[in-house]
Amino acid sequence: MPEAVNPERNPENPILIIGGGPAGLEAAKGIAELGYKAVIVEKANVLGGTPILSSYAALTPDFRSAEDAMGEMIAAVQRPEVDIHLGSQVTAVSGQAGAFDLTVTSAVDGPTQVQAGAAIIATGFQHFDPGRETQQYGYYEHDDVITLVDLERMLKAEQVVRPSNGEPPKRLCFIQCVGSRDRQIGNEYCSKVCCGVAAKESIEVRKLLPDCKVFIFYIDMRMYGYWENEIYWPSQEKYKVNYVKGIATEIVKKGDHLIVRGEDTTMGRPMEVPMDIVVLSVGMEPSEGTKQMAAMFGAEVNKYKFIETVGGALNTVQTSVEGVLACGAATGPADIEDSISSASAAAMKAIAVVRKTAMGVS
Amino acid sequence: MPTLDLSGRNYRDVPYEQKERLFEEVKADMRFDDYLHGCYDCGICVAACPSARFYDFSPRKIAQTVSREDVDLFYLFLNDSVWDCSQCFSCDVCPRKNSPGGLITLMREVAVKNGLASAQEALEGYGRVVYKIMATGTQVSPDMLQDNAFPDWGPHVKDISKNLETWRRALPPETLHTTETSWQVDDKTITELYLIWHMTGVMDMIKEVDEGLFMILQDVMEERLEEAGYDDISFD
């Protein structure tokens, strides 16, 4: 027999969502659709998260315009149940599951007090900075060494050119696993999306510049599920992208070109190949927001500073703090599909917290 | 560009444009798209390949090279590795549904059609076999098991050919107690075979690799075809 609703508790307490990227937007939409209230706190002045802030062109694997897809998600949260604080951060937290008291500080309007029954941390990731730990690939040294993110911006502008001279490249390569799967750097994990993104970008480059030869130097190509036949195979079979198993050891400048040195492992021979543009397939690291919010809520993080989920395979969104859920890339590398799925799970569990509190059950 | 000769065989290096032309000829074959999709470099074809156990031969490297459009390496294999394949198609186990063996078929055909010296050399020992199959329509007969005909079969071929009669009689089925023939092929079949050799360009290929053999076959075939009423057929 359920206990009676405790009138001391406020059943109207909204659910706080920190982060307005794909995960945060999906969580807010789910909560609103079920008739509950959500408060989104987003540090940037726009919604959409990294796909918008980093000017993604097309999403992996379906090539849908990032702006279009995020636009649809943003439109879905424009409803009375969702209160949106842009240019704002959570600066203080007290209370517990069912009744958190928060200070939300706007860069323009100053602090506001917000009450929430549960919190969802959807603060995402940041791209690995290839110049931070090591200058191995000369990202800050050679103009024509760029990252997946830089290329994404060029693809969005539909103008892929060598930064050094503004000319379209005739030979372009990707180097996979930059900042991932690397004990030297400390990021031992796989960032999950870079293989798919590189394959997707390789197709886009070949479409835009049919005369440009494209190579992908890899350790393993991790094209799980349908990414295999949707992007990997077409890039190789239809768009003739060359996949070479072997990671470059260094990039040197020679005249007008970059020389990529590595081993062509399956052919069993060393290689030194000239390139016009080298794209570093940078992985994911926890964003500043993820690290800050974990500290503020006292949620445990793993050794890489992503938020730890405590339910193993059976609960992918519960943090070490009751009433605090995490989703998307705040808990580790995730693509948009993963983020959307975990956001829905987090929304459902956050609603359960609010309902249980309102009904006075545990 | 100096090329790497893995085999010890010698062949002539040619300008890049010529290698590219040969490569394009392979790609232009209508079977090409069925034989090569993309290569995982996984090696399942090598694991399944009997030749790879005996020779420095890798169907993977051939699929990979053509897939990557590495024209220099393609030319190297065209002159060398493709002749190490026994065309058994065990490599058709490929998860991408490639057929490295099929690719090798195309490469061999291009090598032969273009009269590559390496192809002539590789096929040198097989003149009698080709003659036998093309002229009589029967398989290799036991009396052809001589060391000069099959230089790559090893020294035991010589021992066998010395006492062939005895060896054959030691085999249990009586039908194998023959050294000269395998089976009789009737006139109609032979005529049809000659027409097939003619119409599919096989005779043109023979002409490129072995002029002498071509002339012998030409005499035999033209004569029989004429008798069968095809007097307008000429192999020239």
For the stretch A1-22, pLDDT in tens is 444 444 454 567 999 999 999 9
| Calpha distance A31→A48 (Å, rounded) | 18
Q: Chain A residues with CB inside 8 Å of B64's CB? A: 266-267
Kindly report the average pLDDT of chain A as a whole number. 94
Say which residues have a Cβ less than 8 Å from residue A275's Cβ, sequence separation at least 6: A144, A169, A171, A172, A173, A215, A251, A257, A258, A259, A260
Asked if A179 contacts A282 with a C-beta cutoff of 8 angstroms, the reply is yes
Residues of chain A with C-beta less than 8 angstroms from the C-beta of B33 = none
pLDDT digits over B91-126, tens only?
Answer: 999 999 999 999 999 999 999 999 999 999 888 888
Contact check, Cβ <8 Å, A233/B38: yes
Domain CATH for B20: 1.10.1060.10
d(CA A248, CA A145): 13
Cα distance between residue A216 and residue A332, in whole Å: 25
> Cβ of B37 and A237 within 8 Å?
yes
Q: What's the confidence (pLDDT) of residue B145?
A: 73
Q: How many domains does chain B have?
A: 1
The set of residues, in sequence order, having a beta carbon less than 8 Å from that of B10 and lying 6+ positions away, is none
CA distance B111 to chain A (A): 23
**Homologous superfamily, domain A128-283:** FAD/NAD(P)-binding domain (3.50.50.60)
Judge contact between A14 and A39, C-beta under 8 A.
yes
Q: Which residue of B has its CA nearest to A238?
A: B37
**C-beta atoms of B38 and A236 within 8 A:** yes
Do B142 and B179 touch, CB atoms closer than 8 A?
A: yes
Of B61, B69, B73, the CB nearest to A240: B69
Residue of B nearest to A267 (CA): B61
Interface test with B, best of A265, A267, A269, A272 (most B CBs within 10 A): A267
Cα of A266 to nearest chain B Cα, Å: 7
Q: Which of A202-206, A340-344, B170-174, B187-191 has the lowest mean pLDDT?
A: B170-174
Q: Which residue has the higher pLDDT, A357 or B82?
A: B82
User: ipTM higher than 0.95?
Assistant: no
Residue B95 lies in a domain: yes
User: Is B87 inside a domain boundary?
Assistant: yes
Looking at chain A, which residues constitute the CATH 3.50.50.60 domain(s)?
Answer: 15-124+287-359, 128-283
pLDDT for residue A50 is more than 90? yes
Q: Number of A to B CB contacts under 8 A, please give it.
A: 24
Per-residue model confidence (pLDDT) at position B184: 65
Q: Residue B86 falls within a domain, yes or no? A: yes
Note whether B34 contacts A: Cβ–Cβ < 8 A: no
- The correct answer on CATH 3.40.630.10 for the domain covering A15-124+287-359 is no
The strand order across the sheet containing A269-275 reads A250-254, A257-264, A269-275
Report the alpha-carbon distance of residue A138 to residue A260 in Å, rounded.
11
| Backbone φ, ψ for residue B172 (5° rounding) | -60, -50
| SS3 letters across B29-65 | CCCHHHHCCCCCCCCHHHHHCHHHHHCCCCHHHHHHH
Query: Quick one: closest CA in B to A265, which residue?
Result: B41
pLDDT at position B1: 39
- pLDDT at residue A118 in the model: 97
Q: What's the maximum distance between 2 C-alpha atoms anywhere in chain B?
A: 58
Residue contact A267–B64, C-beta within 8 A: yes
Spell out the long-range contacts of B167-176 with Cβ–Cβ below 8 A and sequence spacing 24 or more.
Answer: B168/B142
pLDDT of A10 reads: 53
The gap between the terminal CA atoms of chain A, to the nearest Å, is: 13
The answer to the question of residue B218 being in a domain is no
Answer yes or no: is B153 within a domain.
Answer: no
- The partner residue sitting opposite B64, judged by closest CB among A237, A240, A266, is A266
Give every residue of chain B whose pLDDT is below 70, as ranges.
1-10, 149-150, 175, 181-184
Distance from chain centroid for Cα A317? 16
Chain A residue numbers with beta carbons less than 8 Å from the beta carbon of B44 are none
Asked if A267 is an interface residue toward chain B (Cβ–Cβ < 8 A), one would say: yes
Phi, psi angles (nearest 5°) of residue A5: -65, 130
Measure the CA–CA gap between A329 and A312, rounded to whole angstroms. 16
More reliable by pLDDT, A42 or A185:
A42
In a domain, B32, yes or no: yes
Full domain range(s) for residue B103: 16-114
Interface check for B97 against chain A (CB to CB < 8 A): the answer is no
Cβ neighbours, 10 Å, residue B174:
8
What are φ and ψ of residue A290, in 5° steps? Answer: -65, -45
Over the stretch B69-92, which tens digit does the pLDDT of each residue have?
999 999 999 999 999 999 999 999
Chain A touched by B41 (CB under 8 Å): yes
Amino acid at A253: K
Q: Do residue B68 and residue A242 have CB atoms under 8 angstroms apart?
A: yes
Q: Distances in Å between the alpha carbon of B90 and those of A58, A233, B41, B107, B185?
A: 41, 23, 16, 18, 30
Question: Which span out of A135-144, A242-251, A336-345, B200-209 was modeled with the highest average pLDDT?
Answer: A336-345
Q: How far apart are CA A176 and CA A158, in angstroms?
A: 23
Q: pTM, whole model, 2 decimals?
A: 0.85
- Looking at residue B9, what is its pLDDT? 55
- Cα within 13 Å of Cα(A314), Cβ side: 1
